[in-house]
Amino acid sequence: MKFDEVKENNNKTTKLSQGPHFKNRYIRKMPGIMKTLYYFIASLAIVLTGCNQTAEDYCNSGTEKYDTEDFKGSIADFTRAIEKDPNYIMAYINRGNARAELRDFKGAIADYTKAIAINPSDATTYYNRGVDKCELEDYTGAIADFTRAIELEPKFTEAYYNRGTALDELKDYKGAISDYTKAIEFDPGYSYAYINRGNAKADLHDYSGAISDYTKAIDLDSNDAETYSNRGIAFIEAGLKEEGCTDLRKALSMGYAKAETLITKYCR
């Protein structure tokens, strides 16, 4: 979600932080990482012999390297697995995950697309491809992928949340609110969904609704200083300056440095 611009009484604007941005709040599922009881033995055999290994052996070796954050090494092994078996779907998914960790989002999307061609019924592959499309700011494409993931897995909470955030990027705040609400329906403890729904409500000038959502998010996670700041701004926009300044001071006391500028602007 892009950061909001909150209007003052004199109609000037100031950019304010509005909570979680899409790019650091998504949840990447990685069910494609295959682990078997013998993957360590297989990877050791690859090192020792370098030959006569199966696609699964290489995939398991890649998994071990992935787990130790050797993403380049894991990509090499997943590539070898694919060379052994060009239709090995888990190798494509795993290589896509590793490429995404290295921020090669175009490469990750290509791998997920290949996996989808082999098995068009896996919701998580569409989901992960949607995440990486968002990283490339292809929000329309991401929405299509999240929608397909939801069609395949109707209770896919994160897909609703991320589709909501992509809709937010396109300024479809009502659509975003609908998706955040669905995510909350499936996971009532999803604090980020409350925060982002509050942001979208603030964008629609529903400050009372935004305050309610920020309050719920604070109930779930009282250590998020930024949410106190967001609620403070919503209070001020709703004409409740005292409550708003209390929240801004709380955010500052928790280490949220931007709150100091807001206090100077609104509370003195």
Across the chain, mean pLDDT equals: 84
As a residue count, the chain comes to 268
pLDDT at 23: 31
The two tokens of residue 222 are 């009282």
Average pLDDT over residues 15-33: 36
Coil, helix or strand at residue 15: strand
d(CA 178, CA 201) in angstroms, rounded, equals 11
d(CA 3, CA 23) in angstroms, rounded, equals 12
Q: pLDDT (tens digit, 9 = 90+) per residue, 83-126?
A: 999 999 999 999 999 999 999 999 999 999 999 999 999 999 99
What single-letter amino acid sits at 72?
A: K
Q: pLDDT (tens digit, 9 = 90+) per residue, 208-264?
A: 999 999 999 999 999 999 999 999 999 999 999 999 999 999 999 999 999 999 999
Can you say whether residue 254 is alpha, beta or left, with left for phi > 0 and alpha for psi between -120 and 50 degrees?
alpha
Q: How confident is the model at residue 25 (pLDDT cuts 50, 70, 90)?
A: very low
Do 131 and 142 contact (CB within 8 A), yes or no?
Answer: yes
Reply yes or no on whether the pLDDT at 30 is more than 60.
Answer: no
Sign of CA dihedral 254, 255, 261, 264: positive
Do 126 and 145 contact (CB within 8 A), yes or no?
Answer: yes
For the chain, where are the alpha helices, taking DSSP H only?
39-49, 55-67, 71-84, 89-101, 105-118, 123-135, 139-152, 157-169, 173-186, 191-203, 207-220, 225-237, 241-253, 258-266
Beta-carbon contacts of residue 175 (< 8 Å; ≥ 6 apart): 164, 167
pLDDT at 268: 85
Q: pLDDT (tens digit, 9 = 90+) per residue, 190-205?
A: 999 999 999 999 999 9
Reply yes or no on whether the pLDDT at 6 is more than 70.
Answer: no
pLDDT at 52: 67
Residue located via tokens 């949220």: 256
Q: How confident is the model at residue 11 (pLDDT cuts 50, 70, 90)?
A: very low
pLDDT at 29: 38
Pick from 96, 123, 100: nearest CA to 112: 96
Pick from 75, 131, 64: nearest CA to 102: 75
d(CA 93, CA 125) in angstroms, rounded, equals 7
Q: pLDDT (tens digit, 9 = 90+) per residue, 126-148?
A: 999 999 999 999 999 999 999 99
Pick from 111, 91, 41, 99: nearest CA to 72: 99
Reply yes or no on whether the pLDDT at 17 is more than 50.
Answer: no
Residue 251 φ then ψ, to 5°: -60, -40
Average pLDDT over residues 51-55: 77
Give the chain's radius of gyration (CA, Å).
22
Residue 86: C-alpha distances to residues 59, 61, 107, 137 (Å):
13, 17, 17, 30
% of the chain residues with pLDDT over 70: 81
The two tokens of residue 215 are 């309050």
d(CA 179, CA 160) in angstroms, rounded, equals 5
Reply yes or no on whether the pLDDT at 9 is more than 70.
Answer: no
Do 93 and 116 contact (CB within 8 A), yes or no?
Answer: no
